[in-house]
Structure 1
Amino acid sequence: MNTLIGISSRININKSMPFIFLAIIHFLLLGVTFYKKGNKTFSLLFISIGIGYVFEYFVLNVFKMYKYNPNIFKNKWIDSVFGALLSQSVYIPISATILTMFKLGWKWRIVAASIYGVIERLFIHWGIYKNKTWSTFLTITAMPIYFYIVAKWWDDVLNGERVKIYISIFFGYWISYTNILYFCLVLFKKYRFQIGILKEKYWEHFILVPIYTCISAIIGSVNTIYSSQESKWKGLLVLHAFDRVLFKYKVIKPSTKFNLYSLIPIHLFVLFFGENIKSRLNDYVAIRDNQ
């Protein structure tokens, strides 16, 4: 698709290959972890991504402390966010998942952070990543803390800490909505968010989308946690009403092909996914209690 935000017709393989190569390595490691540890791997992965997304929203979306240049998409904001998506949905969360699943402590956390620090310096040297107000020193020092938070969070979930379980369900909703809407925009030019405050319309979009998906995730989580099976449909009605308000005031800019009602299948899918996350987390707690 050769559009402003579509896939570039002149992808620079030299710039794209390091991102692809890293993704392949991490997916292979994730596959090995899944083979050894089972379905818990993916439940923990979603928690790892959710915690990473909180960090990424402020550091990249709001303050623009660094930027990526994988040269996959023509639009620079879209391209940079895609690099961040790989970093915060694939590379670093998979590492956190592996470290936690295999109960690897501080030594391995520091080793992993140091490896990512070297990768960051290489990416800077190759011109596919740029620090602005961020630094490699912050990467190396903050990442072991992130790995520890993920490990502690997972242990609390398995111990039945209800607040952590509820927030984990929220993370499942939040990252699902965020990633789906990202690819809706990139591939179909569908659902751009705007209020007209910032001149850079895609910067504004990537500040607004996580707020929308956060509110939608809260609605979905409350519906999953507190609604009876007979009243689950009420969550869909609340989500649709929320969308109607945003469409009315033109916060969501639809395309000519997609409208308000084409969001309903997305809500249905994510609501179903949220129910699955809740069920799995509760099962893990029950198994641990019975051991």
Structure 2
Amino acid sequence: MRRNQQSFNKYPYIVLLVIHTIMLLIAFSKTGNRRNTLMLLSSNIALGYYFEYFVVNLFRGYVYKPAVFKNKQFDQIFGAILSQAMFVPFTAVFITIFQLNWKLKWLFSFYFFFIENLFVHLRVYTHNWWRSTYTFLLLPFYFWISDKWYQKLQKGSPLILFFSFYNIILITCVNLLFFRAIRGNVRFGYGKHHTWREHFIIGPLYSIVLTILTAWKMKRNTDFKTWREILWFRVACDFLFIKLKWMKGNLSKIVLNLPYHFLMITISAMILKFVYREEVKIKTD
């Protein structure tokens, strides 16, 4: 019976993924500025990740059960990624691009309220202290933030552009660390024995620290000296985390992490050109 339940669990998530992917594709076909829409999507995802960090990683408000991974912590986080990087953000982008009114925002909020309760009934999702009512009441505010963010992007707000740049780097960093953890390349924790729950508490903080420095330094300059300073800072963070026993491994781990850091710096430079392409053209000319 349990095996049948686990084999069933993934299908409700797949159905939602198909529905919301279609919604996102429709939104992108409608928009006249796909660059700003992509930045909006990334910022909506980042906002969802912040929310999940506190409600799921820290305080265990609810549990996702897509039954994709045998490791319960990986499975839980993968469910969170599906929800906060796809289902909810895709919907928010759809609402913003089509400029849907408050009645429709509340209707979509009720849709997620219904889905959440259905998932509980199907036993593919479990509440601890969280309640579906909280979802229903908070989502319209999330949709409103999405609307305002897009308006500021359209006006070219320097502050919103920078945080959009930061958000794209952050979600890239978090997602890459998740896949590195699956492969056994990185593990965070406290002391000698690192649990996966500890990993998913410390890992996002590690990503935030590295992203803040990377985004700030790259926005100011993109020359070789800047790349070198960012790399040294990342290496110093690894050294500190290993010395404090917050990262599993010895000092050789620093060398093994270098390809990841080079990759993130390279990707960040590409994101900079994407977000600030007008400014980059001016500097090049």
TM-score norm. by structure 1 comes to: 0.86
Residues 200 and 19 of structure 1: CA distance in aligned 2, closer, same or farther (over 3 Å): farther
2:233 counterpart SS class:
helix
| Whole-Å separation in 1 of the counterparts to 2:145 and 2:262 | 31
Deviation at residue 157 of structure 1 after TM alignment: 2.7
1:252 counterpart SS class:
coil
Give the aligned length.
Answer: 274
Deviation at residue 10 of structure 1 after TM alignment: 8.8
**Cα deviations across residues 220-259 of structure 1 (Å, max 9, x unaligned)?**
111221124343312122212221222333321149xx93
Deviation at residue 11 of structure 1 after TM alignment: 8.6
Give the corresponding residue for 1:244.
239
RMSD between aligned residues: 2.5
Residues 55 and 275 of structure 1: CA distance in aligned 2, closer, same or farther (over 3 Å): same
Moved >4 Å (runs of 4+): 283-286
Residue type of the partner of 2:132?
A: T
Runs of 5+ unmatched residues, structure 1: 1-8, 287-291
| Whole-Å separation in 1 of the counterparts to 2:279 and 2:146 | 17
CA contact (8 A) 2:187 2:194 kept: no
Deviates more, 1:171-180 or 1:34-43: 34-43
| Whole-Å separation in 2 of the counterparts to 1:64 and 1:26 | 25
Residues 156 and 249 of structure 1: CA distance in aligned 2, closer, same or farther (over 3 Å): same
Residues 106 and 266 of structure 1: CA distance in aligned 2, closer, same or farther (over 3 Å): farther
| Whole-Å separation in 2 of the counterparts to 1:10 and 1:273 | 42
The answer as to 2:121 corresponding to 1:125 is: yes
Residues 282 and 200 of structure 1: CA distance in aligned 2, closer, same or farther (over 3 Å): closer
The answer as to 2:93 corresponding to 1:97 is: yes
Deviation at residue 113 of structure 1 after TM alignment: 1.0
2:276 counterpart SS class:
helix
Residue type of the partner of 1:205?
A: H
Residue type of the partner of 1:271?
A: I
The answer as to 2:153 corresponding to 1:157 is: yes
Deviation at residue 193 of structure 1 after TM alignment: 0.1
Give the corresponding residue for 2:274.
280
Give the corresponding residue for 2:139.
143
Deviates more, 1:120-129 or 1:174-183: 174-183
Q: Identity rate of aligned residues, in percent?
A: 30
**Cα deviations across residues 31-58 of structure 1 (Å, max 9, x unaligned)?**
2322332343322110110111111111
